[in-house]
Amino acid sequence: MSAVPLMPKATAVWLVENTSLTFDQIADFCKLHPLEVKGIADGEVAAGIKGSNPITTGQLTHDEIEKAQKDTNYRLRLAPPKVRLPEIKTKRGPRYTPVSRRQDRPNAILWLLRNHPELKDAQIMRLVGTTKHTIQQIRDRTHWNSASLAPMDPVTLGLCSQIDLDLEVQRAAKDRPVTPVVDGGQTLLPADVSTNPDYEPSYEPEDEYGGYGAQRRREDVERAEADSVFAKLKNLRGPQEEEDEG
């Protein structure tokens, strides 16, 4: 996007009054519509606006204007600035909190500490516009109003937006260490193993309840218990019953 001169309408007024440039040339330089420039020439637009000389402001030169007046197809170009100011980088300060909401900040801090302990102090400071000292007091329960504090969602209180809160939570989640996956125990056998007719399950499980041979081992125990019961019943039978059977 090409640069726009300072006070484009005032500059257009001066060019209309003091040069023989075409409406198209002035409109192109001031980034206006040609009909708007024609309205300035007719006194219908920009009435009461004092013209601004682009030569004294260093935006045009006499040679540039004369060159454009001789060639109607020529387009004016802004003169390069004589002094280039460095870009000022403004440091973002803490979030401003309305006076009517400032008494709710401790409740919001308590809510964040309980529901999102992964958040860093700097993130809480950005969300609710507080200080690190206040956060530490609420965390240690040394705040002067600790007994009356109640956790309240900062989004509901209007201290921050849900988008800002979600963004800070996502940033904190990226910094958290990855929890290793723990073996959950038994897993399903591959299909080529379980469907093999020659497959024999293992009888050496890892523990009392795990392993592929657990079900078969339980069946063996139940069978042994049944044999023991029948043996005891046989011992309890009297001699007469044995003779009758004989």
- pLDDT tens by residue, 127-154: 998 899 999 999 999 998 888 999 999 9
Q: Which residues of 155-193 are buried (b: 16+ CB within 10 A; e: fewer)?
A: bebebbeeebbeebbeeeeeeeeeeeeeeeeeeeeeeee
For residues 231 and 223, what is the distance between their CA atoms, to the nearest angstrom?
Answer: 13
Rounded to whole angstroms, the Cα distance separating 104 from 111 reads 11
pLDDT for the residue 207: 46
User: pLDDT value at position 22?
Assistant: 92
Backbone phi, psi, residue 138, to 5°: -70, -35
> What are the tokens at 175?
């910094």
Residue type (1 letter), 42 = D
Boundaries of every domain in the chain: 8-70, 99-175
pLDDT of residue 1: 44
Residues of the chain with pLDDT under 70: 1-2, 83-100, 176-221, 224, 226, 229-230, 232-246
pLDDT digits (tens, 9 = 90+) for 118-129: 999 999 999 998
Report the pLDDT value the prediction gives residue 210, as an integer from 0 to 100.
47
